[in-house]
């Protein structure tokens, strides 16, 4: 390819002797770097998706070549313009590839700071209008590159909660798609319109809180901040386990999604990440770190995001995580999936007799939440049964199941004596909330953003800024008190305390108890199936039905003037 480009340049630029040797070398070097970068980038898709070590050196080489290419085109822009005919969209393509590299590095490492790097490259493309001339060329494939860039940029902005930018990008993408379909009668216009519909539904899925003072919408980050998790009391004995790996699985029928992320997956992945920091100040490059600097904080747990996986895919990733789990570490499995129920009565009550949650079958599945088997003598094949997870309980396992058949996982048995906890969603919601399921689960919303979930069940969508801040402070106090209830409990199963040393798991456990206590006190949540459950069971009187916690919830309701939504004295109602 390099030879062809050079011949073309030489023939169009007159006699070969007219071109200085240095300029000819510049073009040759640029063509070499461009070829090498494309070759390495295309090779990324051949890397195994699971396993944390094999890909790193390849990614490193790809980054190096793209860094050289980017600097090279900056330093030699004039020569490349004159002799190579470098177009602005080609510079945009290089920047876009670097943005993609950073985004994929984030997916592989779970380090949120790489999202900021992807954002800065994608932003530069837009600010410098690198793709602006594409529409003047009669080449639909170039316009598709531009549309794909927009879709990728939107994903990064969603993950960084930059909702104002998202709205601008969606408007621009909509205009670009309209122009594209008007100019080129292509077959993919339906797909691009679907992309627009998906992102619009995704943005609308989150409950909105408007601050009346200046009519602004609250944008909250739900990642772990320095002050996010309740601190442990001094001398409190809890386990030293650390959350190292997580599988986040989304397989709900009809739930809004964008770019292979359902809204539940999107919420849960943020609950397992720290706030992004500036990479320039954080990266420990060789020779960069002064000895006086504090050691870097703990990393985010690594995670796999699996959208509608088959059983084989799910088991492969699970086995890879299990294999690579370091000592004294926890594997978290989050399942947001349609319930699969057993048909007929079973004489036994084993780990394959209660159904489970749906895995993808690579064929069209029946719509509706309950998938029933045709042949009653066999177990459902496209289903993750509790028994399927038994082999992995040889190491500490923390399971969250958000499903209409979450209770199947109540029938767990701890075979190996390792720490094991399952947090289980309600299996049904009151009628007033049932039409909300497309917008994501209320249970997962509580685990991701408990205040917003509390306001949602209280029917509130606007308030004064001061009140919002007061509620946030009060919720922090509630979290601290829940942490004390757990650690002071005399009858709680030790598994809960063994997980309590990890900040992420501590926050999930306190939010789970807040969610459960709120639902038990809410007037419209009156059936047992409306409440979350857990394995092992929590001692109710010391946690989810503790009078001290109930008092706090009523106090939060009073601050918001929604006390009428909650029962005054729930203990009398049982």
User: 317-331, pLDDT tens digit by residue?
Assistant: 999 999 999 999 999
Q: How much is the pLDDT for 297? A: 55
Per-residue model confidence as pLDDT tens digits over 477-490: 999 999 999 988 88
| Alpha carbon distance 147, 176 (integer Å) | 7
* Least confident piece of the model among 14-23, 140-149, 504-513: 14-23
Asked if the model's pLDDT at residue 289 lies above 60, the reply is no
* Least confident piece of the model among 287-291, 305-309, 333-337: 287-291
Parallel, antiparallel, or unpaired: how do β-strands 339-340 and 356-358 relate? antiparallel
Q: How much is the pLDDT for 572? A: 47
User: Distance of CA 320 to CAs 51, 53, 272, 388, 470, Å?
Assistant: 6, 11, 19, 15, 44
Residues 60-66, mean pLDDT to the nearest whole number: 94
Instruction: Please provide the average confidence, as pLDDT, over all residues in the chain.
Output: 86
Asked whether 474 and 555 are in contact (CB, 8 A), the reply is yes
Identify which has the larger pLDDT, 253 or 517: 517
Asked whether 184 and 140 are in contact (CB, 8 A), the reply is yes
* Least confident piece of the model among 44-48, 430-434, 563-567: 430-434
- And the tokens for 97? 């590839």
Q: What is the CB neighbour count within 10 angstroms for residue 186?
A: 15
Give residue limits of the domains in the chain: 1-207, 242-253+305-337+355-361+379-424, 432-573
Look at the domain 1-207 and name its fold. Answer: 1.25.40
Asked if the model's pLDDT at residue 568 lies above 90, the reply is no
Q: What SS3 state is found at 332? A: strand
Residues 248-258, mean pLDDT to the nearest whole number: 92
Q: How much is the pLDDT for 293? A: 39
Residues 189-214, mean pLDDT to the nearest whole number: 88
Asked if the model's pLDDT at residue 128 lies above 80, the reply is yes
Per-residue model confidence as pLDDT tens digits over 514-558: 999 999 999 999 999 999 999 999 999 999 999 999 999 999 999
Residues 457-473, mean pLDDT to the nearest whole number: 92
Share of the chain above pLDDT 70, in %: 87
Asked whether 139 and 90 are in contact (CB, 8 A), the reply is no
* Locus of tokens 């088991």: 315
Highest mean pLDDT among 35-39, 190-194, 458-462: 35-39
* Residue 294 main-chain phi, psi, to 5 deg: -70, 150
């Amino acid at each position: 390819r390099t030879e062809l480009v050079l011949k073309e340049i030489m023939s169009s630029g007159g006699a070969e002797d007219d071109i200085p040797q240095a300029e000819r070398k510049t073009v040759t070097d640029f063509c070499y770097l461009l070829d090498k970068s494309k070759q390495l980038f295309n090779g990324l898709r051949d890397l195994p998706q699971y396993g944390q070590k094999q890909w790193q050196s390849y990614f490193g080489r790809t980054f190096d070549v793209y860094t050289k290419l980017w600097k090279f085109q900056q330093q030699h822009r004039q020569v490349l313009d004159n002799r190579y005919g470098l177009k602005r969209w080609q510079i945009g393509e290089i920047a876009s590839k670097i943005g993609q590299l950073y985004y994929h590095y984030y997916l592989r490492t779970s380090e949120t700071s790489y999202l900021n790097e992807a954002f800065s490259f994608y932003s530069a493309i837009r600010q410098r209008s690198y793709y602006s001339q594409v529409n003047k060329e009669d080449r639909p494939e170039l316009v598709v590159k531009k549309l794909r860039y927009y879709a990728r940029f939107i994903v990064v902005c969603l993950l960084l909660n930059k909702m104002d930018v998202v709205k601008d990008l969606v408007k621009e993408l909509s205009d670009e798609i309209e122009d594209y379909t008007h100019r080129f009668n292509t077959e993919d216009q339906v797909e691009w319109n679907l992309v627009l519909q998906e992102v619009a539904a995704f943005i609308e899925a989150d409950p909105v809180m408007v601050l009346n003072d200046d009519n602004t919408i609250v944008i909250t980050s739900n990642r772990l901040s320095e002050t996010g998790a309740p601190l442990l009391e001094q001398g409190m004995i809890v386990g030293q386990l650390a959350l190292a790996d997580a599988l986040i699985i989304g397989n709900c029928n009809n739930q809004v999604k964008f770019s292979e992320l359902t809204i539940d997956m999107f919420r849960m992945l943020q609950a397992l990440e720290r706030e992004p920091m500036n990479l320039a100040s954080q990266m420990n490059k060789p020779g960069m770190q002064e000895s006086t600097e504090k050691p870097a904080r703990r990393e985010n747990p690594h995670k796999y995001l699996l959208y509608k996986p088959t059983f084989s895919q799910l088991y492969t990733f699970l086995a890879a995580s299990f294999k690579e789990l370091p000592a004294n570490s926890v594997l978290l499995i989050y399942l947001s999936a349609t319930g699969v129920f057993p048909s007929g009565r079973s004489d036994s009550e084993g780990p394959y007799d209660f159904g489970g949650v749906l895995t993808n079958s690579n064929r069209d599945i029946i719509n509706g939440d309950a998938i029933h088997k045709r042949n009653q003598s066999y177990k459902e094949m496209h289903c993750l049964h509790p028994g399927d997870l038994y082999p992995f309980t040889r190491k500490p396992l923390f399971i969250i199941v958000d499903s209409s058949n979450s209770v199947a996982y109540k029938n767990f048995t701890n075979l190996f004596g390792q720490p094991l906890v399952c947090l289980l969603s309600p299996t049904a919601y009151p009628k007033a909330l049932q039409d909300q399921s497309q917008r994501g689960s209320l249970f997962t919303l509580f685990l991701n953003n408990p205040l917003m979930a509390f306001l949602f069940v209280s029917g509130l969508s606007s308030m004064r800024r001061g009140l919002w801040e007061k509620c946030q402070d009060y919720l922090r106090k509630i979290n601290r008190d829940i942490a004390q209830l757990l650690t002071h409990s005399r009858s709680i199963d030790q598994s809960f305390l063994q997980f309590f040393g990890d900040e992420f798991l501590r926050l999930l456990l306190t939010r789970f108890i807040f969610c459960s206590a709120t639902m038990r006190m809410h007037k419209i949540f009156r059936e047992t199936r409306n409440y979350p459950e857990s394995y092992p069971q929590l001692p109710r009187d010391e946690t989810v039905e503790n009078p001290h916690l109930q008092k706090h919830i009523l106090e939060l309701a009073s601050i918001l003037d929604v006390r009428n939504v909650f029962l005054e004295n729930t203990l009398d109602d049982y």
